[in-house]
Amino acid sequence: MKIINVVNTFVFLFATTVVMAIFYEGITLKWYSIVPMLIIITDIAFIIATILNIILNHKTKILLALNLFSILIICVAIIMRILNIKYPEWSLLIWNFYILYFFGAQVLLHINKYIQKKRKHK
């Protein structure tokens, strides 16, 4: 379970960085070459984390359902890419917000469990 928490935290931090970078690009009206690289790293980490969560963390029903929903979204995105179907640019920001909030919630759940364990041992 500890590997899942590390991977979820990693995805959350990268998603936060991507959202900040996208907004910074919008504020400065400049395009930075590092942003697409951050997006790709976040997407790959998201796919890995989603698969790990489905395999290792399937006891929590709501998280399992959300992870399966994430797999569905990933499959739709891959099909759209293969078929060369265009999608609006703002959908990338929505996608990264989804990753940010979804993994942010998982990180907060882990922190809450950690705090609860510490309180029981006192």
**CA 76 – CA 101 distance, rounded (Å):** 20
Give the SS3 label for residue 114.
Answer: helix
Express each pLDDT in 74-99 by its tens digit. Answer: 898 889 889 999 888 788 888 888 99
CB distance 87 to 2 below 8 Å: no
Q: Phi then psi for 85, rounded to 5 degrees?
A: -85, 125
Structure letter (DSSP) for residue 110 = H
Predicted pLDDT of residue 47: 92
Token representation of residue 36:
């697409």
What pLDDT, in 10s, does the model give residues 12-45?
999 999 989 988 888 898 888 888 898 889 989 9
The answer to whether the predicted template modeling score (pTM) of the entire model surpasses 0.95 is no
pLDDT in tens, 94-119: 888 899 899 988 888 888 888 998 88
Closest of 2, 116, 103 to residue 50, by C-alpha: 103
Residues 6+ apart with CB under 8 A from 12: 100, 103, 104, 106, 107
Other C-beta atoms lying within 10 Å of the C-beta of residue 39? 19
